[in-house]
Amino acid sequence: MVEGQGAAQQQELQGTDIVELEYRPTVGDFTPALRARRGVSKAGRRQFWLLGGVTVLVALEGALALAGENVSVLPLIWLLVFAPLMLLTPWLQARQVQRFAECQGTFRVTVTDVGLTVTTDNVTVALNWVAQPRYRETTGAFVMLSPDKNAVGFTVLPKRAAHTPADVDRLRAILDRNLTRV
């Protein structure tokens, strides 16, 4: 988007609630965000069901082994490979996303009832609430998610970037008014 569009939106909002954030993204910002995204995406739920299925298979194979039956170790191998990979995936993805975000420099985010404007050293983007109509709150951030079934698009708003604790509460109030909490 063009920088002037975000500034025009902000001028229209004189007297409304505005929260400003400023931060440099870290892997710690993206890891819980990607976990939250996985929890609402269809693909993420499928991974959990698959892990649960493999765990049940391993338990059944273990019960058969205790009963003296000849069993396959293949489900155990799948569980030993798949479970750590599934647990590490958000962290590995977060490292990749953070490398890209780090190149953008300092993030300055302005959140209003119209949407938000993200300005970095290299780019300015204005998002209205329709682009990412739902959000999830984690311990350290608010994660805005796109409406598609796999939540491909997401925006992380770290709580540490707020100037005061009251700004976090105001940000939560703005998000609650305009987005659906998932």
pLDDT, tens digit (0-9, with 9 covering 90-100), for 70-118: 777 777 777 788 778 878 888 888 888 888 888 899 999 999 999 999 9
Amino acid at 93: Q
Backbone torsions φ then ψ of 97, nearest 5 degrees: -65, -40
Closest to 114 (Cα-Cα) out of 6, 1, 4, 3: 6
Structure confidence at residue 66 as a pLDDT band (50, 70, 90): confident
Q: Are 143 and 156 a contacting pair, CB within 8 Å?
A: yes
110: β partners: 20, 117
The pLDDT value given to residue 38: 85
The pLDDT value given to residue 172: 97
Percent of the chain topping pLDDT 70: 92
Distance (Å, rounded) from C-alpha 159 to C-alpha 138? Answer: 9
Among 79-88, 159-168, 171-180, whose mean pLDDT is lowest? 79-88
Please determine, for residue 13, whether its predicted confidence score (pLDDT) is greater than 60. Answer: no
The pLDDT value given to residue 10: 46
pTM, full prediction: 0.73
Structure confidence at residue 145 as a pLDDT band (50, 70, 90): very high
Looking at mean pLDDT, say which of 4-8, 11-15, 47-51, 130-134 comes out highest.
130-134
